[in-house]
Amino acid sequence: MKHTIGILGGMGPAATADMLEKFVALRRASCDQQHIPLIVSSIPDIPDRTACLLSGGPSPFHSLEQYLHMLEAAGAECIVIPCNTAHYWFEDLQAVAKVEMISILDATLNAIPDGVSCVGLLATDATLAARLYQDKAAARGMTLIQPEREEQAQVMQAIYALKRGDKTAAEALLLPQIRQLAARGAQAIIMGCTEIPLIVAGHEDAFSCRFVDSTASLVRAAIRWYESWPDTRAACALPQYAHA
C-alpha cells in the first residue's frame, strides 16, 4: 500500500465511523482501487480529553502516542485525528511522530468561506478553554463567537448525548444553540467537535448560516495530501471476464 493514511480515532467511535464515510464520499473515484488506503485505530479506551484538561483527569497523551506508533508500524505515512480536543496534544504528538500529520484546526479554518468575518464556534468546554481555535482565528483576522455559559452547558450535554447514542436528545439540546449564534451575527458555524456534524446532519437547511464541518475539512485536507503524490492517479482497468 502506498501513501496510506492512518486514522487515530476512537474519540468517539461514531465520529471515527463518520470520517470513514466521508473519505469514501469525498474522494473522486470510479473504482475500488482509486479510493484512499486507510488504516484505522478506533480504540475507545483513550482517557476523556475534556476531563483531563478541566478536571485533572488522566492524560490521554500516552494512549495517543501508543496508537500513533501502532499506525506507523502498520504502514501509515500520514496521520489524522478525528477529535478536535485531542489537538491540544497535536504538537507533542508531532514531535514524536515519524510520519506527517495534518491538523484538524488548520484544515477547518482554511475551509471557512471567503468573505465570512464573524464565525460561531461549537466545541467542547476544553477546546474552548484551551483556545485551540480562537488564537489561530485571531491571527487570521477572524472574529469567533461562542455560546454563553448556560448555552455552552447545553452544547456539552448534546455531545455526550450523541456519544451515548441518543441523537434525538442531542438535536433538542444543540439546535437552539445554533439559532442563538446565528442571531448574534454568525455567518458560519464551525462544528468544532467531531460529534457535532452527526447531530446537525439533515438540519443544515433550517438555518441561515453556513456550516464548516471539521471532520470533512480534515478529510479533504488528507485527500489533497494523498493526491499530491503523482503515483496515486492511476486509472481503473475494467476486469476481463471469459465467456463460456
For 176-199, the pLDDT digits (tens) are 999 999 999 999 999 999 999 999
pLDDT at 1: 66
Catalytic residues: 83, 193
Same domain, 167 and 180: yes
Residues 152 and 72 in one domain: no
pLDDT for res 149: 96
238 is a domain residue: no
Q: Identify the domain containing residue 184 by its residue range.
A: 106-214
Helices and strands: H and E segment counts in the chain: 11, 8
Residue 240 lies inside a defined structural domain of this protein: no
Q: What is the pLDDT of residue 186?
A: 96
Closest Cα to residue 10, out of 52, 55, 51, 40? 40
Cell of 186: 454568525
How far apart are the C-alpha atoms of 38 and 79, rounded to whole Å? Answer: 10
Cα–Cα nearest to 82, from 71, 98, 96: 71
Residue ranges of the chain with pLDDT lower than 50?
244
Tell me what pLDDT residue 244 has.
Answer: 47
| pLDDT at residue 10, as a whole number | 98
> Does one domain contain both 119 and 64?
no
Which residues 6+ apart lie within 8 Å of 198 measured at CB? Answer: 14, 15, 18, 162, 167
Task: For residues 6 and 80, give the distance between their C-alpha atoms in angstroms, rounded to a whole number.
Answer: 6
